Structures are given as structure tokens and as C-alpha cells.
Structure 1
Amino acid sequence: MSTPTRTRRVLVTGAAGFIGFHLAARLLADGDAVVGLDNLNDYYDVSLKRARLDRLRDWPAFTFEHLDLVDRSGLDALFARTAFDLVVNLAAQAGVRYSLVNPQAYVDSNITGFVNLLECCRQAGTGHVLYASSSSVYGARTATPFSVDQNVDHPISFYAASKKANELIAHTYSHLFRLPTTGLRLFTVYGPWGRPDMAMFLFTRAILAGQPIEVFNDGRMERDFTYIDDVVEALVRLGRKPAEPDPDWDGARPRPGISDAPYRLYNIGNHEPVRLLRMIEVLEGCLGREAEKRFLPLQPGDVPATYADIDDLRRDIGFEPTVAIEDGVARFVRWYREHYGV
């Protein structure tokens, strides 16, 4: 008689957030037991976060922990109660522009909180840590597509600096303690249940209300819009492939994306940048209304274009994005109308 496979236990931080919610739901559907952690801060509408959690609570294998990563004693107690096979850190203070206003929030959540979590994983012997970085680390680079092999030592926002710090700290833990870590440079994720501070959400709300939308850099922006289902698929596959030392490592010629430690970095993107004005055009078609556009200069901390090189994802996990911007925007608009009754 074969021995039943033990249910995998996964901790997802930021589980009430956009990506965390979708990932937790997918893991639960795949048969994992998920502990979702979130501090439910008021950076954006808490009722949206609670609505996401209500959906996750329908799963018997889901447990919610109302906890902040800066609460080291609370984290210690959680790890003392539960041994995790995989930890996915999606909790963070998000937003490029807000980091100009309140940088301390990024130090607390993105740096102190991340170190607290890694330390718990180290002491508990966690098998693998996935963590969210950001395409913002590439700064104002003009050489595209962006590759993890490129130098990213010149961030142009405090948010980006905090995410670059995450990558450096993760590498240190992988090197010193052999803790497998995989960094995820996420590129403009969108879709149902998305964040209200993101452009697609802001534009949809404004257009339906008959209000003008703010289009920065006079519309000369390009983003590698990546649909949430594609992001989740990549994360699920990476979560089942713990980072290992790179077999091609050559200490005499190190490259940013590889290491002799169990450490990896990946771009999670669509590999197909879309002009911002094209996205607005698609959104207008889905809403059946034309937007009143207010053109503004490029904002401090913003980058004019993002474009992900995903060759590593293709090679290592066979990943290929499947959702085009036209389909993704239509799905978002359908959800928005249903959720908000408009």
C-alpha cells in the first residue's frame, strides 16, 4: 500500500492583498493547506481586503493570521505552532509615489519585516522562500528587455531601493545559511480584485464617474502589463522548484542573477510591453465610454517603460504568458462592474 502524500503547508504573507489573495486561492484549489498573514493596513480600502479574505475563508484548509511582519514575537509564535514547507512573502508597503511621502513605512514593512520573516525561516528550517521584488529595481534603464543579469544599483525611488535591499538580504541568507530563496521581479500585475491605487483601477473608476484621468509622461509610457493568472501560474511552478546553486557559477565572473548559493531571481512579466494609451483605448472599448485625458509630466520615481526578459522562466519552468491585454482588461472590467454594481 502506498503512503499518502502529506499535505503541503504554505505561508502566504499579504494574503489579503491582490496577488496574495489569488495565489492563496490557487494553492488551496491545488490541495495545499494555506496560512494567510496580513496586517490589514489602510493604505487602500480595507473593505476590499476583507472581501478577498471572505472568499478564502470558504476553504476549510485556510487559516488567517492578523499579524504584522514587524511583530517579531508574533512571527516567532506562528512559526513555533506551524512548520511551513514553503513561505511566499507578498506582504509589503507598495507604491512608488507614496514612498516619496512616507519612506519610513517602507523601511518597517519591506526591510525590517522581511528580515524578521527570513530569520524565522532560517531558525525553523523552512524549505523554500519566494518573495516579491519589483520591476522598479531597473530604474530608468533604457536597454530593453530588462534582464536579471543587468546591474540595478541605481534605483530612482525609495520603493525600488527597498526591493533591491530585499534581494541583497535574501542572497546573504542563502549564502550564509543555505536557505533557498527565489526573488520575483513583478511587472505591472493587473486583473480582477486588483489594487485601487493602480492605473487600470483608477482609470476605470474615473471613466465610469465621468471624471478625467491623469496620464503621466504625456502618454509616452509603456508597461509590461501581466495578467494575474499568468503571475500565479509562474509562482506556483517556482514554489515547487526550490532555488539551487547555479551549476554555471564562476566566482571569477559573477553575474547578478546567479550565485553559488541556493538563490534565484526571475522577471515575472508578459514580455510584451503595451503603450499606456493603447491600454486606455482597450479600457474605453470595454467600458463603452471615452476617457477625458489630462496629460501630465513624468512623476518623480516613475519609469517611462518596462519590458521583461523571461527567457529564464521559459528555460527553468516552461512558463509562457497566455493572456493578452485585450482579454485581461475585459476580465477586469467585468469583475469591477459586478463587484461595485456599476
Structure 2
Amino acid sequence: MAAENEKYVSTALEQVVLRKVEEFLENFLNQLKSNEEASSKQQGILLSIPSVAEEGFRLSISSHTKMRCAFVIRVLAEVYGLIVSGKYSTKRDIFYQNKALFGKQSNLNRAVTTVCQLLNEPRVNLHLLSTARGCIFGDLQFINEVGTEIDCRQHPVLISSHFESIEQVKSDARFVLVVEKDATFVKLCDEKLVDLLGPCIMITGKGYPDISTRRVLKALLQHLHGVPVLGLMDSDPHGLEILLTYKFGAQKATAENRNLGVNDIRWIGLHRSDISSMPIMPDQFLPLQASDIRKIGKIQKRIYRLKEDMLGGESGASLEEVDQMIAE
């Protein structure tokens, strides 16, 4: 095991990450020494890595920011230890190992996001894995990054962080179907959609997709050149926001989710324009809540900011879909 770990640490990528951690800590300690003077305390500490970027996170010295620094340093220590030992861990495991320090999971989550931004590295490069959430099923076989053969043809397979690098992909899929909801995904599996429509691949993030699901979808499409990507999402604010996340990525770009958007995804419905042709009684519709209307406003602003007809053209709908939600 020791020889295996040594070989793993010697890879170029891990060595780069380790050097970044060391550089950050050296820079941080130097600032602590220089902040012994009162004037320096008012200026605060700049959490940064000079070789990565001049900008960083400037914190004034206070009881609140001291804890934030402690959270970041603890995560860096965990990352360093994981890489050196050749091990992986989830955020949940790290939280329970350091529960007295972090207090609540959200403190650790924010610290991990900060560390990813500081190091300019996605979470998987820091040996931090996501808990399995998304599922994939259909005409697909591949080798994951730890060398395990994954066969998705017989039953749905949970997507883990070890799937974020896939090789030796085997598939005759005619299309990839991205399904919003887990219940819909399970129903389509039970109805044997992959047999009814020919070879295809179905994938779901069970609602808002996590980074692992989006990264697997992106990696899969790089192997399946030209295969259409179809999105099956509800015609409501949450469905549209999920479509937007798959298509353009998360609204707040970080080192973790950069370049994960799938521009070619085409929304196949259900569109609001389809409803009039269906035998649906008026009392079956749910009224929009105030929170839904606020979400619609945010979606509209983002679409205009992107300067693209996100819901039109290749996406399979029109911007009027959003406006109709408010009007109705």
C-alpha cells in the first residue's frame, strides 16, 4: 500500500496541488507575522496564492473571520493529508471528523468552495468526493478513473465522483435523455424506455444536478460525438432553472463547475404550449407562489444577461414560456 500511495502522490497534478497548499500556508503565516502591528490589523489578511492569482479574499481581523480562516486552514490540512496518503473523502465524512470545529455542514461547504477558488482546482483534484446522488442507465459501458468497469445496461447506476473521468466508452446510443426528476426517471426505467425507443442513455440529477452528474454528462458527450441531448423538464420555474443549469452551468461560476454547461441540450417539454392539446382539467393546475414569481424574474434576468435565447432555437422553446407563467 505504501508503494502504491507513493506512486499516486508523485503524479504531476497532485504535486501541483500540494505546492499550492504549501505556498498558501507560507503566504498566510508571513502575513500573520507582519500583522503584529496595529496598523496591519486594520488592513486585514489576504487569503491568496500569489502564483495563482493576485486577487484573493481579504479578511479583517475579528472573531468571525478568525473562524473562517480556521475553517479554510482545516480544509487545506485535510486536502493535503488526503493527497499525501492517496486517499479520498467526502465532505460529510470530513464534517463528522471535525464537527466540534465546523459546528454545521454549511460552514464546511463554504470553506471547501473557498479552497477550490483559492487553489483554482475542482473538488475532485483535492480528493474530495461527492456523495452519490445522480443516476445513469442505458446502453453504456465505460472504465472509471480508478479502473473499474461500469455497466449501465442492466440497472440504474449511482454516479460517484470516480465517474468524473471516463475512458473506453462503449455505446450505440441514439440520444441522451436528461431527466429532471428521480420519480420520472424511475418510471421511464420501469417502462423500459431504452427498449421502446432504441438504444439510448438516461441520466438524472434528481432535481438540481450536482457537480458530479454534470461532469459525467459533459465527459460522456465528449466521447459520444454528435449524439443529441434532450432535456425532459417541467414547465415551471424550477424545471426551467434546472434546464438553465444543465445548459449554461451554475449561475455562480467557480473552479468546480467551470465549463460544465451543455449548450446543445434541447428542451423537449413539457412546454406550456403543449398543455392546451391535453385533457387536463383547470383544477389540476397549481397557482404560482410569490417565491415562484421571484425565481422567474431571476431566470429572465439571467437569460438577457447571457444575450442568448436560452429557451429558444436549439433549446426547443421560446422566451414566451417564461412570460406566460407570470401572465397566467
Is TM > 0.5 for Structure 1 vs Structure 2? no
- In the superposition, the TM-score normalised over structure 2's length comes to 0.28
- In the superposition, the TM-score normalised over structure 1's length comes to 0.27
Larger-Rg structure: 2
Structure 1 or 2: larger helix share? 2
